Structure 1
Amino acid sequence: MLLENVNEEIRDVREQDIMNTAVALIGELGIANLTMDKVVAKVPYSKGTVYKYFSGKEDLLLAISNDSIVMLSGLFSRAAKFEGETRERILLLNFAYLIYATLYPVLFQTVICSKSPNVYGKASTKRLQQQKHLESNLLSISRGVFQEALDNNCLIRPEHMSIEQLCFSNWSTGYGIVLLLSGTVHECNNRSGFVIEQELFNQNNLLFDGLDWRPLSANKDYRAALNKALEYVFPNELVQLKQKGRELHI
């Protein structure tokens, strides 16, 4: 049966089944050991059917990455809509990223892997275009909070920086901390004893105070505010973390 003649709902189910199987295999074997043959052996579809959905391993990894970005966007949107001050909401948004990376380590690793030239060079144009669109939507969420802070004069944009550069400073700080301390990369001695959520909190406040984003940390208890916001916005995720034996100690 030609793929274009398959019912759209069935297509979605099949595609998701294949991706879910690949995610499980990555969790078991690691990304480097994932192959299309191993995926085919685990799904109730023929090899030809699997390749109709995904042109190869790289295309499959990018599809998983795109699904992960959609999931992360949902967490970001919830954080951005929280009724708090702009600085508080960006802090909450950055912790949404930590929650995502902790609850879904395989997805977090897959997104990182999907950025490699090898994956980008072999993935389909369709998946690449999807990722570009999804990442643009993801970044627009944090940009909206930054713009609100500028409009409200809680944050004054440095003359030498655009709003995109401000967003990049925030993203690179959070991404770097989560990547370096999440256990995804080999741990170095100078990171021993660091608690990821505490360092994320500390470095965010260091950046925001440096930007003179009001209220400053000297004038507001952001630790208490963040804990309260996390309980309000992400109650189910905190329960899931606890079930995994992980709690955020900020």
Structure 2
Amino acid sequence: MFGMARLTPKQRMIRLRESQILDLARPMIAQGGLAALSMDAIAQELQTAKGTIYNHFPNKEEIVLALAVQAVDRRLELFNHAVMMRGTSRQRIAAIGIACEVYVDVLPDLFRAEQIIRHETVWGKTTEKRKEILRNCEGRCMHTVAGVARDAVAAGDMVLEAAHQIEDIVFGLWSLVYGGMVLETTSPSLVDVGIVDSRAAIRRNCNSMLDGLKWQPLYEPEPYSIWVQQVRTHLLANCPPAGAVAVEEPDPIRAETKPRKLAKPAKLGGRE
């Protein structure tokens, strides 16, 4: 785990216990939401008093928020893997979209926790300290997307008339991809309204938006399909496990750690 080498024995014990609590809470929330999360069951499984659980997390909502922080942290790791792949700016922005798909496919329990925490009744019962951690991590995800858009402008792949359009693009893609994934996992009526393949629909909408902005190179089905498979293969090989981080407090040791060098796939010759 990040930063463990410099922690005191007591700090390591605290982090380990919090990691154990989150590992037990994750499947409960995935199966039945907040109502299924039981402090009693967690305490029994860990063979400790329920008060010990409350020493780490003041309520069930705080556990959900801690899992949501894990969720966004994993998504950020996948985003970072995606943007470091060789390719045009259009390919790299597409890779981030595929990273969102891999995140939902491989870490559905964390995605569920991320959805639950956005309910005001849950969010309102959590601590400001951990809320700020989530905001910062989510902001870093959005900055990663914005960075690729700025690279596109700098390379001449896209021409924007106003500076605020970068933020508009980020919000537009976020709405299409995240919103589409939420509907995919929660709506029982997509097939009834003609959406047989929601992933394909999300990709088409994103490509239509980017083509409308004249972000070069424009969408071409065959090279795009090849790129999608290449990105998925790379990301699945590098997807972080759900419980990789024991606790979500800011860690200066982690910030000082140099990122791993990633294996870069062969450059795709065709246009996206």
Judge conservation of contact 1:70–1:134 (CA < 8 Å) in 2: yes
**Equivalent residue in structure 2 for 1:52, among 33, 50, 55:** 55
Map of 1:32-51 to 2, 5 A cutoff? 32-51=35-54
Instruction: Note the residue ranges of structure 2 that are not aligned, 5 or more in a row.
Output: 1-7, 240-272
Alignment map for 1:176-191 (pairs within 5 Å): 176-181=179-184, 183-191=185-193
Normalising by structure 1, we get a TM-score of 0.84
Tell me the amino acid that sits aligned with residue 188 of structure 2.
H
The answer to which structure, 1 or 2, has the higher relative contact order (CA under 8 A, 6+ apart) is 2
Corresponding residue to 1:124 among 127, 136, 153: 127
Structure 2 match to 1:12:
15
Superposed CA offset, 1:206-231 (max 9, x none): 11111110001149822222222333
Amino acid at match of 1:36: M
Q: State the shift of 1:201 in Å.
A: 2.1
Runs of 4+ off more than 6 Å: none
TM, length-normalised to structure 2? 0.78
> Does structure 1 residue 62 correspond to structure 2 residue 65?
yes
Deviation of 1:37 after TM superposition, in Å, equals 2.8
- Which runs of no fewer than 5 residues in structure 1 stay unpaired? 238-250
Question: CA contact under 8 A between 1:69 and 1:135: conserved in structure 2?
Answer: yes
Aligned length: 232
Q: What aligned pairs does 1:1-250 form with structure 2 within 5 A after superposition? A: 7-159=10-162, 161-181=164-184, 183-192=185-194, 194-218=196-220, 221-235=223-237
Root-mean-square deviation over aligned CA pairs: 2.2
- Quickly say closer, same or farther: Cα 1:26–1:75, change in 2 above 3 A: same
Does structure 2 retain, via aligned residues, the 8 Å contact 1:64–1:110? yes
CA distance in 2, matches of 1:219, 1:190: 26
Deviation at 1:187, TM superposition (A): 2.8
The percentage of aligned residue pairs carrying the same residue is 25
1: distance between equivalents of 2:104 and 2:200? 15
Contact 2:102 / 2:236 at 8 angstroms: preserved in 1?
Answer: no
